[in-house]
Chain A
Amino acid sequence: MLKSRHLLGIADLEPDEITLILDTAEAMTEIAARPIKKVPTLRGRTVVNLFFEPSTRTRMSFEVAEKRLSADTLSIAVAQSSVTKGETLLDTVRNLEAMAPDMIVMRHASSGAPHLLARLCRSAIINAGDGMHEHPTQALLDAFTIREHKKRLDGLKVAIVGDLLHSRVLRSNVLLLNRMGAEVWACAPPTLMPTELSRFGVRPTTSIDEAIADADVIMMLRIQHERMCGHFIPSTREYFTLFGLTPERVRRAKPDVIIMHPGPMNRGVEIDSDVADGPFSVILEQVTNGVAVRMAVLYLLAGQEAATD
């Protein structure tokens, strides 16, 4: 059982809850192997996917997960502009709630937006990414992928390299990996490091070579092209020279290193194509595993709902 009826972030999960989600996800992978990839678990339940920010991977992944669990789903992509026309987030969600959904999966550009809803709305809220804050199902699917390959999380050296400052994937992953006993190295230029990064429970470094030396896992984060505007980096070319993951650099890691990326990738900016498509890459597995992990989360939260009804 999960303690909360919402999944707002890894910050709220105990290690045993993380393990429960990962174990449940493992059971869910079996469903994807069936010729008919569907179970009746969430039949009659309504799940709304409310995406205030563009998303392909996460939204599709949730939709597939919901359909495999037989939920009735409704996906709404709200352009930011229509929100700025007047309706507040709270009103948008209360209108949806008037149609009695059981769960709301939300992606929003503002950190803390799902926390606002969890405080003021009836539905169970699943955070599908809030601003620069958390992206809990991404961290869970990353952990699932690591566990599949390494059979454990504790004691692993995980290097996370890229735009740490703006990354919700970093924040959720650090929380989860710390909780599960991994050693996390975080690498970026100082301009893209969050304030007091060492207090996050990571080893900060500006040297990618140091970060990935003997690493079991390398996780690359996307560099948005518009980051040049805030004077974060001079150019994507210089960034790649200093921080890009190349086949030469990968050799410094453990021989059985796995290379991950939450997507969308910028080839030639943070990662060389030879690495992204190479033998150590598990980037597409991450996408596959995303469905199982989200099925597990939906299933466990729905069970929670049933228990509290």
Chain B
Amino acid sequence: MKLLVKGGRVVDPANGRDGEFDVLIEDGRIARIGKSLPADGGEVLAVQPGWIVAPGLIDIHVHLREPGQEHKETIATGVAAAVAGGFTAVACMPNTDPVNDHPGVTELILRKAADANLARVYPIGAVSMSSRGEQMSELAAQKAAGCVAFTDDGRPVASALLMRRALEYAGMLGVPIVDHCEDPSLKGDGVAHEGFYAARLGLRGIPGVAESIMVERDIALAALTGGLYHVCHMSARESIRAVRAAKARGLTNVTCEVAPHHFVMTDEALETPIRYDTNVKMNPPLRDAADRDAMLEGIADGTVDVIATDHAPHHADEKLVEFDRAPFGIVGLETCVPLVFDRLVHAGRIGVSRAIELLSTAPARVFRLPGGSLADGAIADITILAPDAPVTIRASALRSKSKNTPFDGWQLKGAVVMTIVGGRIVYRNDL
């Protein structure tokens, strides 16, 4: 089976390629990349000039909710949302019910993902049993079953000792530890960023240092152990500063990610346009303008390795409650590309190549995943984007089972045209 992706701007930072090329796919792999390639008897996919042909986007921070919370999302609906958002692969968080601390759960996830047969799914295992922070999970067994990273996400690895040991042990396996950084006592029962808006609205605050204090601790442990360490969903300017300093020290084992909402929105959204909108409640919370600007800066200067969505679906009923009772999180898979292009690329903060690096090359590198590259022989995971196409986000039209997004009605520029996984077109957007 052959498919020739003809025309378009191939942007492949892994191989230093950015220009007009054709991509020939054969048997699910990249066969050749070059100028004016012959179709060679295969199907021809004509790409409009100006469209971007990129290695498939990879979201390394997604909550697929299955098993156990299928009313929020299932693996099938989650991967449907992923491919509609341009993602050819997602890594899914272990805070399911039961927690993914056992190969049995990993196998279940992989089986359901194979049944859905859309985006690739890479399970992330729990660092500790039930993510309780007490006993380490069988990390090697989980890696053998298919886990690509370990985290207790939803919670931090609160114990410095467990973090140290996990970094050492997972380092042996060459698998990163991903920490949801948040000092439990400083977070307390906070529900929003500790700043002016939360103070005015009478919402209990979570200070930025609740995050950065643990980022600093973890960096110290990463330096001590040499283990692979990845900070997820950074939101505070102090955290950016800490990671920047770590990288300047030469700690190549430290990486980090930022979610789109943290470089797009601020805590002002608690008040405007809707006061106490539970769709702006996430953890870490939307922070202030200086924090948002620090995220933008970190994305531009290379401190931030990866953009990941922290796709966190919740049922409408769960969000239709008092602000402090609502669960944290928003869906992100289907709004990421328009936000990245509109707010980063078109805003002149980064170029297209850097955007693809953040969304594809780097996530593949950090989690050591196949993909993120259009080299000859690589898996044929490709995302085609129309960077100038206008998009109006409609919550009701999302493929995700949940519609909890604060971006409903937003008009942005930058659309997903097509998603190809293993040489097979799994999503097509009729622009």
Q: Which residues of A contact B (CB under 8 A)?
A: 88-90, 108, 110-113, 115-116, 119-120, 130-134, 168, 171, 194-197, 199-200, 230
Tell me, yes or no, whether B40 is within 8 Å of chain A by CB: no
Q: Are B202 and A199 in contact (CB under 8 A)?
A: no
Partner among B188, B195, B196, B202 whose Cβ is within 8 Å of the Cβ of A132: B202
A200 CA to B203 CA in the complex, in Å?
15
A208 CA to B91 CA in the complex, in Å?
55
A to B CB contacts below 8 Å, 5 in the list: A112-B203, A120-B320, A195-B195, A196-B199, A230-B188
> Across the two chains, which residue of chain B brings its CB closest to A166?
B202
> Across the two chains, which residue of chain B brings its CB closest to A199?
B196
Main secondary structure of the interface of B (DSSP, over half): loop
Partner among A89, A116, A131, A197 whose Cβ is within 8 Å of the Cβ of B202: A131
Minimum distance in angstroms from B142 CB to a CB of chain A: 35
Minimum distance in angstroms from B290 CB to a CB of chain A: 12
A300 CA to B7 CA in the complex, in Å?
68
Q: Are B202 and A168 in contact (CB under 8 A)?
A: yes
Minimum distance in angstroms from A185 CB to a CB of chain B: 17
Q: Are B200 and A110 in contact (CB under 8 A)?
A: no
Residues of A close to B17: CB separation below 8 A = none
Minimum distance in angstroms from A108 CB to a CB of chain B: 7
Partner among A112, A119, A134, A200 whose Cβ is within 8 Å of the Cβ of B322: A112
User: Given A115-B276, A195-B194, A195-B195, is A110 in contact with B325 using a C-beta cutoff of 8 Å?
Assistant: yes
Q: Are A88 and B320 in contact (CB under 8 A)?
A: yes
Q: Are B275 and A88 in contact (CB under 8 A)?
A: no
Q: Are B199 and A110 in contact (CB under 8 A)?
A: no
Residues of A close to B323: CB separation below 8 A = 110-112, 116
> Across the two chains, which residue of chain A brings its CB closest to B203?
A111
Q: Are A116 and B322 in contact (CB under 8 A)?
A: yes
Partner among B205, B320, B322, B324 whose Cβ is within 8 Å of the Cβ of A195: B205
Contact with A along B297-325 (1 / 0, CB 8 A): 00000000000000000000100111111
Minimum distance in angstroms from A235 CB to a CB of chain B: 21
Additional A-B contacts beyond A110-B323, A110-B324, A116-B320 (18; CB < 8 A): A88-B320, A89-B321, A89-B322, A90-B320, A108-B322, A111-B202, A112-B201, A112-B275, A112-B276, A112-B323, A116-B321, A131-B324, A132-B203, A168-B202, A171-B200, A196-B199, A199-B196, A200-B200
Partner among A112, A134, A197 whose Cβ is within 8 Å of the Cβ of B199: A197
Tell me, yes or no, whether B331 is within 8 Å of chain A by CB: no
Q: Are B321 and A88 in contact (CB under 8 A)?
A: yes
A-B contact count (CB 8 A): 65
Minimum distance in angstroms from A143 CB to a CB of chain B: 20
Minimum distance in angstroms from A47 CB to a CB of chain B: 22
Tell me, yes or no, whether B198 is within 8 Å of chain A by CB: yes
- Among B202, B274, B323, the most chain A Cβ lie within 10 Å of the Cβ of B202
Minimum distance in angstroms from A187 CB to a CB of chain B: 16
Minimum distance in angstroms from A111 CB to a CB of chain B: 4
> Across the two chains, which residue of chain A brings its CB closest to B271?
A11
Contact with A along B148-174 (1 / 0, CB 8 A): 000000000000000000000000000
Q: Are B324 and A111 in contact (CB under 8 A)?
A: yes
Q: Are A134 and B195 in contact (CB under 8 A)?
A: no
Minimum distance in angstroms from A274 CB to a CB of chain B: 33
* The 5 nearest A-B residue pairs measured at CB: A112-B276, A133-B202, A132-B202, A110-B322, A111-B202
Residues of B close to A113: CB separation below 8 A = 322
A112 CA to B200 CA in the complex, in Å?
11
Q: Are A195 and B201 in contact (CB under 8 A)?
A: no
Q: Are B276 and A196 in contact (CB under 8 A)?
A: no
Q: Are B276 and A111 in contact (CB under 8 A)?
A: yes
Residues of A close to B275: CB separation below 8 A = 112, 115
- Among B205, B275, B321, the most chain A Cβ lie within 10 Å of the Cβ of B275
Q: Are A133 and B320 in contact (CB under 8 A)?
A: no
Minimum distance in angstroms from B236 CB to a CB of chain A: 14
Minimum distance in angstroms from B213 CB to a CB of chain A: 16
A90 CA to B388 CA in the complex, in Å?
42
- Among A134, A194, A195, the most chain B Cβ lie within 10 Å of the Cβ of A195
Partner among A88, A108, A200 whose Cβ is within 8 Å of the Cβ of B317: A88
Q: Are B202 and A195 in contact (CB under 8 A)?
A: no
Contact with A along B11-24 (1 / 0, CB 8 A): 00000000000000
A116 CA to B199 CA in the complex, in Å?
19
Minimum distance in angstroms from A179 CB to a CB of chain B: 15
- Among B204, B205, B323, the most chain A Cβ lie within 10 Å of the Cβ of B323
Q: Are A195 and B321 in contact (CB under 8 A)?
A: no
Minimum distance in angstroms from B319 CB to a CB of chain A: 11
Contact with A along B270-300 (1 / 0, CB 8 A): 0000111000000000000000000000000
Minimum distance in angstroms from B195 CB to a CB of chain A: 6
A230 CA to B322 CA in the complex, in Å?
23
Residues of A close to B325: CB separation below 8 A = 110
A116 CA to B322 CA in the complex, in Å?
7
- Among B188, B194, B203, the most chain A Cβ lie within 10 Å of the Cβ of B203
A150 CA to B317 CA in the complex, in Å?
50
A113 CA to B276 CA in the complex, in Å?
9
Interface residues of B in 183-207 (CB under 8 A from A): 188, 194-196, 198-205
Q: Are A134 and B202 in contact (CB under 8 A)?
A: yes
> Across the two chains, which residue of chain B brings its CB closest to A9?
B275
